[in-house]
Amino acid sequence: MSDPLGPRVRRLFATPLIELDLPDSAALNAALVQVIAARRATHGGISRSNVGGWHSDTEMAQWGGEAGRRVALEALKACGAYTHDMGMKGAEPRFQMGVEMWANVLPAGAVNQHHAHGGALWSAVYYVDDGGDRDSGSLVLLDPRFPMNRMYSPDLVFAENGEMEETTVRIAPTPGRMVIFPSWLMHGVRPHAGPRERISIAINVVAIRARK
């Protein structure tokens, strides 16, 4: 039992990370595989943070069909539940939430370099296919305080109950799961090494001033 008069640790200013598993994701993912393959067959893709692989245009909310719309709506619903407008007066919202969405297809060896999403409020990734290897191709989130927390004593880190504080968090790709985080949080994807292509959908949720 801890000493009630002993030191207490309060962790301040946490970075929110939202994870949710979509119901009936097997059928949803099968439909997404088809619609992404169809788009890929007619569009060469663009180059952003990806090194290798195929990055679609950011208009998947328009060409993604019913399956794509469901992913977009799930992201909007989750982000809306964790967003509060401090200047809102009455019941009329001052902002509308919009999305830009794209598909990422990574063959073995492909990665996404670390980056953030300027101009957006929330960012999300939805996993369609882990490529047959959940131990590779993980999403890597960087501590936003880095390198400040390593500047003076790089070998000394905060520890509590024997657990050391980490400067990175890795999240394995899990089909049917959506991971949401603030758009300013630096993130990337480790090299994929599976026998199949790793397929995911990235989403930016943007706040747009509502028209009066």
In a domain, 89, yes or no: no
Residue with tokens 């893709």: 45
In a domain, 71, yes or no: yes
Q: If you ran DSSP here, which 8-state letter would residue 94 be given?
A: S
Average pLDDT for consecutive 10-residue bins of the chain (212 residues)?
80 94 98 99 95 97 98 98 87 88 98 96 98 96 83 81 89 98 98 98 94 71
In a domain, 54, yes or no: yes
How many domains does the chain contain in total?
A: 1
Q: What is the CATH classification number for the domain harbouring 172?
A: 2.60.120.620
Name the maximum alpha-carbon separation found in the chain: 67
In a domain, 7, yes or no: no
* pLDDT score recorded for residue 80: 94
In a domain, 118, yes or no: yes
* pLDDT score recorded for residue 140: 98
Of 203, 190, 184, 206, nearest in space to 64 by CA:
203
Please name the amino acid found at residue 76. L
In a domain, 6, yes or no: no
Hey, how many other C-beta atoms are within 10 angstroms of the C-beta on 64?
Answer: 23
In a domain, 112, yes or no: yes
Enclosing domain of residue 107: 18-81+95-209
* pLDDT score recorded for residue 212: 66
* pLDDT score recorded for residue 104: 98
* pLDDT score recorded for residue 78: 98
* pLDDT score recorded for residue 211: 76
Distance CA 70, CA 28 (A): 9
What is the distance, to the nearest Å, from the Cα of residue 27 to the centroid of all Cα atoms in its chain?
Answer: 22
Please name the amino acid found at residue 25. S
* pLDDT score recorded for residue 147: 77
Terminal C-alpha separation, the chain? 57
* pLDDT score recorded for residue 2: 64
* pLDDT score recorded for residue 149: 67
In a domain, 24, yes or no: yes
